[in-house]
């Protein structure tokens, strides 16, 4: 007959084995920002407000632009109110995490940004081109013509324009200018010679200023795409935005807004 000590040891081992076989309790499901947005009836969209034709905020606080129009459409289809939150290119990624549900406004897909957040399906193809004074346009036929020691290239810090300039230009003088909304006036006033930015912005600015001309707008220096940014953890919100983009691309909404702001559907 087994001793009491042996029976106690066997009981202890059986208890330990039973506990080991039991799966730990499932962690509670984390709600998506999409659920919170619908529940709060407001979607907070970060936008720089300084990058026409995608996003612009005038001195009175009124917003306009292609992505502003589309942000209103997104909010309407979600059944919520739109709250546009001003940000800057330098603080965009930080503000996305701290103050906004998503970011819209001519945002270029980059691998660095993709490490920190999720991109929607791309909605526009673009690439770097240049704006110059029309009087000097014959001097600039290529990127090599821009990258010369006597050329002053003006740039707003914090975005992909600055990244491109610092990575690519080895001889030209890079002049930082903090106000992206008035930066093209630096060309007009002769304080800089070239502004490298996305071809879509070059087209918009040169169409409205007869003193400025575009370089490489039809065949940009680079390839890039525009998309919307959502926090890295929120797959459901990203999927909803992708479905929304698919719908507006096929129901005529995107074409109508694009025609208004870009001159093409």
Query: Are both 195 and 132 inside the same structural domain?
Result: yes
Instruction: Determine, yes or no, domain membership for 13.
Output: no
Range of 109's domain? Answer: 33-125+225-262
Claim to verify: residue 73 and residue 101 sit in the same structural domain = yes
Chain centre distance of CA 235:
17
Give the whole-angstrom CA distance, residue 213 versus residue 224: 21
Provide the CATH number for the domain around residue 156.
3.40.190.10
Q: Is the residue at 11 inside a domain?
A: no
Q: How many domains does the chain have?
A: 2
Do both 98 and 146 map to the same domain? no
Q: Give the 3-state secondary structure of residue 205.
A: helix
DSSP conformation class of 32: P
Where does the pLDDT of residue 264 fall: very low under 50, low under 70, confident under 90, or very high at 90 and above?
A: confident
Instruction: Give the pLDDT confidence score for residue 16 in this predicted structure.
Output: 46
pLDDT digits (tens, 9 = 90+) for 15-65: 444 444 454 444 434 568 899 999 999 999 999 999 999 999 999 999 999
For residue 95, being part of any structural domain is answered with yes
**Same-domain pairing of 180 and 144:** yes
Q: Is the pTM higher than 0.85?
A: no
Query: What pLDDT, on a 0 to 100 scale, did the predictor assign at position 32?
Result: 80
Q: 20 in a domain, yes or no?
A: no
Answer yes or no: are the C-beta atoms of 231 and 117 closer than 8 Å.
yes
Res. 202: pLDDT tops 50: yes
Q: Is residue 85 part of a domain?
A: yes
Same domain for 60 and 169, yes or no, is no
């Amino acid at each position: 007959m087994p001793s009491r000590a042996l029976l106690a040891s066997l009981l202890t081992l059986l208890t330990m084995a039973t506990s080991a076989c039991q799966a730990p309790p499932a962690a509670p499901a984390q709600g998506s920002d999409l659920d919170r947005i619908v529940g709060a009836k407001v979607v907070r969209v970060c936008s720089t407000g300084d990058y026409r034709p995608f996003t612009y905020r005038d001195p009175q606080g009124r917003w306009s632009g292609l992505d502003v129009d589309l942000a209103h459409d997104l909010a309407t289809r979600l059944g919520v109110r739109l709250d546009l939150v001003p940000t800057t290119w330098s603080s965009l990624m930080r503000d996305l995490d701290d103050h906004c549900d998503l970011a819209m406004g001519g945002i270029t897909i980059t691998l660095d940004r993709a490490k920190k957040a999720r991109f929607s399906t791309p909605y526009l193809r673009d690439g770097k081109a240049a704006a110059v004074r029309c009087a000097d346009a014959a001097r600039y036929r290529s990127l090599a013509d821009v990258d010369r020691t006597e050329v002053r290239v003006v740039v707003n810090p914090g975005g992909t324009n600055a990244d491109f300039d610092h990575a690519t230009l080895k001889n030209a003088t890079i002049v930082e200018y903090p106000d992206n909304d008035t930066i093209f006036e630096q060309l007009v006033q002769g304080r800089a010679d070239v502004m490298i930015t996305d071809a879509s912005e070059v087209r918009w600015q040169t169409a409205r200023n007869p003193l400025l001309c575009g370089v490489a707008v039809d065949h940009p220096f680079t390839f890039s795409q525009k998309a919307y940014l959502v926090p890295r953890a929120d797959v459901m919100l990203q999927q909803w935005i992708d479905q929304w983009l698919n719908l507006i691309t096929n129901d005529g909404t995107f074409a109508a807004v694009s025609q208004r702001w870009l001159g093409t559907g």
